């Protein structure tokens, strides 16, 4: 069984426990974090691709990646955003050099 499926089973049991017990013994922050966990991955595909990308990013040659840097790298790797380089190139204003170029 993959890690993502175990994670989903854990989250569903946690949600059921929270709904049934009324969460009287959990503090407000813990309850909020527990309820936000299921929204982390919308499907097992996203979960598995995230761990695959994390494994690639944090290889044996880059084993000292900080959490902030890993988060940024994963966000770039998993997003479907494709920058419009042509638009950026059109917005750049070129300046001619005042010095003469030697032949």
What phi and psi values does residue 47 have, to the nearest 5 degrees?
-65, -50
Domain boundaries, the chain: 1-40, 42-77
Start-to-end CA distance of the chain, whole Å, equals: 69
- Asked whether the beta carbons of 14 and 37 are under 8 A apart, the reply is yes
User: Does residue 102 have a pLDDT over 80?
Assistant: no
pLDDT, one tens digit per residue, over 75-100 is: 888 878 777 878 877 877 777 666 66
Q: Cα dihedral angle (72, 76, 78, 82), rounded to 10 degrees? A: 160
Residue keyed to tokens 């059109």: 90
Q: How far is CA 30 from the centre of its chain?
A: 21
pTM of the model: 0.42
pLDDT of residue 49: 81
């Amino acid at each position: 069984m993959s890690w993502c499926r175990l994670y989903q089973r854990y989250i569903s049991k946690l949600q059921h426990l929270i709904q049934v017990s009324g969460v009287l013994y959990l503090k407000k922050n813990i309850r909020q974090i527990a309820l936000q966990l299921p929204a982390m991955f919308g499907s097992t595909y996203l979960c598995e691709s995230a761990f695959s990308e994390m494994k690639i990013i944090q290889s044996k040659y880059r084993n000292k990646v900080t959490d902030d840097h890993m988060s940024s790298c994963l966000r770039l790797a998993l997003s479907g955003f494709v920058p419009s380089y042509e638009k950026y190139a059109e917005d750049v204003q070129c300046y001619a050099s005042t010095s003469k170029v030697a032949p």
